[in-house]
A and B are shown apart, each in its own frame.
Chain A
Amino acid sequence: DADVTQTPRNRITKTGKRIMLECSQTKGHDRMYWYRQDPGLGLRLIYYSFDVKDINKGEISDGYSVSRQAQAKFSLSLESAIPNQTALYFCATSGTSGRTYEQYFGPGTRLTVT
């Protein structure tokens, strides 16, 4: 089984709808992240969480919210989706010592807002 899973893998939604993307991990890592990727660009950080009670805004948090339900689960919500939120969304995890600082990514969620 994959260490970092994301659901759904693909989603098409309409402007104004609320949508939630979910991420689960079995790596035992404390840190979790949500990124978005637009075509031809690198990743940009939306939110990150260093433990269940610690949630921080990233570079592009406007229009998004998150919930860290447990160490292993981190969900991203778009309260009222807009077309320019069409992108590929990635969840990632990392640990807090040694090689576990490396970030490991889920397979991504391709979101289209029409």
Chain B
Amino acid sequence: GIQVEQSPPDLILQEGANSTLRCNFSDSVNNLQWFHQNPWGQLINLFYIPSGTKQNGRLSATTVATERYSLLYISSSQTTDSGVYFCAVESKSNYQLIWGAGTKLIIKP
């Protein structure tokens, strides 16, 4: 099956710093989504991005489907950005979302 690898697994930054999170996947997919899980466990969909670049405030994402990777950029980090960021890809064969293990981000004030 499809393998989804996220890097780095952990990231600790000071408030105001910028960061780039990476998601690699092993086969072609229907789409890719980025999620944020806050420290209370709530999962929020950040981007639905099968290809190209999207921006939403301080966050942006780029997916290069032909090279099987996606990047999530967080600029001017705030403490509320802390949590775990997951990418998930939809399999072409059965439409299931396959999840990476996540990047745990801690933003220090």
Residues of A within 8 A of B (CB): 33, 40-45, 48, 50, 56, 58-59, 88, 90, 92, 99, 101-105, 107-108, 110
Contacts and interface: CB of A to CB of B under 8 A. Distances in A.
Interface stretch (B14-22, B41-49, B62-70): B41-49
Q: Is the interface of B mostly helix, strand, loop or mixed?
A: strand
A59 B48 CA distance: 22
Interface of B: 4, 31, 33, 35, 41-45, 48, 86, 88, 90, 94-97, 99-102
**Most B-side CB within 10 Å, residue of A50, A59, A99:** A59
B48 A43 contact: no
A104 B48 CA distance: 11
Contact of A45 (B35, B42, B97): B97
Contacts of A104: 45
B59 to A, nearest CB: 15
Given A101-B31, A102-B45, A108-B42, A43 B96 contact: no
